[in-house]
Amino acid sequence: MNLFAHIGRATLAMLTEIGRVAMFLKDALLQGLTPKIFPRQIIGQMVHIGYFSLPVVGLTAFFTGGALALQIYLGSSRFNAESLVASIVALGITRELGPVLAGLMVAGRVGASIAAELGTMRVTEQIDALVTLATNPFKYLVGPRIIAAVVTLPMLVGIADIIGIMGGYIVGTRSLGLNGFAYIRNTADFLEFNDVSSGLIKAAVFGFIIAVMGCYHGFNSSGGAQGVGRATTNAVVSSAILILAANFALTTLLFAD
């Protein structure tokens, strides 16, 4: 009976958390994304989320593209199909690895930052001070972060796609002896608009998830420094899990026959 009691408590706790996230999401959409908006806050968050995340996303994409080209070459060489390296690298980067890895990197950097910042504001009662000053915290804190993340993540993924394909090209031509002109031609011939656009759609959804999870856990943190630490950890973990789950759902939806 104790086992069933534990399962019941865990189930109720999970359902309660889902309900809290749903209520927070409702307030974020109805209050944070409606006028009045704060352009300076949005621009500042776009710089913080997009520009400062570019180095880590670019390096991740470059080395991923190079490793992907090397692994595909080692596998395809068994069947004398080395010409497929360029096309598979391009498809893998634009469809899956570009948006997913960029989302996970940004979740680790930006999601944690948002949760820590808002969590500190919560425990030091700065959010309560905004309410006292007749400033809606959803409009001033949550809305700009959601808008900035949704706008900048596709930009980051677009750049990551280019860098990742370039990483595959460098490894393919410098280390594997592939012809550079043929590599570029195969990439251009096999890559379609739908391959790139699907990755950008995924990136926008991932940006929304990162911003919402970071803001939710930061807003609901309590217990001083330890509470802020828990909120930061929960924001990164929940963002990563939801990104992977959303990636599967979007792949099924976008590429369904």
Taking residues 211-234, report their average pLDDT: 89
8 Å CB contact between 207 and 150? yes
32, part of any domain:
no
Taking residues 52-75, report their average pLDDT: 92
pLDDT digits (tens, 9 = 90+) for 4-62: 888 888 899 889 989 999 999 998 888 888 888 888 999 999 999 999 999 999 999 99
179, part of any domain:
yes
Q: What pLDDT shows up at residue 82? A: 77
CA distance linking residue 146 with residue 236, whole number of Å: 16
8 Å CB contact between 206 and 104? no
Torsion over CA: 16, 20, 25, 30 (sign):
positive
Find the domain containing 232 and state its range. Answer: 38-248
CA distance linking residue 182 with residue 46, whole number of Å: 38
62, part of any domain:
yes
Q: What pLDDT shows up at residue 1? A: 62
CA distance linking residue 95 with residue 1, whole number of Å: 47
5 vs 170, residue with greater confidence: 170
8, part of any domain:
no
106 vs 225, residue with greater confidence: 106
User: Could you tell me which of 44, 22, 24, 54 has the C-alpha nearest to residue 147?
Assistant: 44
What does pTM read for this prediction?
0.92
13, part of any domain:
no
Q: What pLDDT shows up at residue 144? A: 93
CA distance linking residue 217 with residue 253, whole number of Å: 29
Domain count of the fold of the chain: 1
11, part of any domain:
no
8 Å CB contact between 167 and 66? yes
Indicate the angle between helix axes 2-27 and 193-219, nearest 10 degrees: 110
- Determine what percent of the chain is predicted with pLDDT higher than 70: 99
6, part of any domain:
no
241, part of any domain:
yes
DSSP secondary structure code for residue 139 in this structure:
I
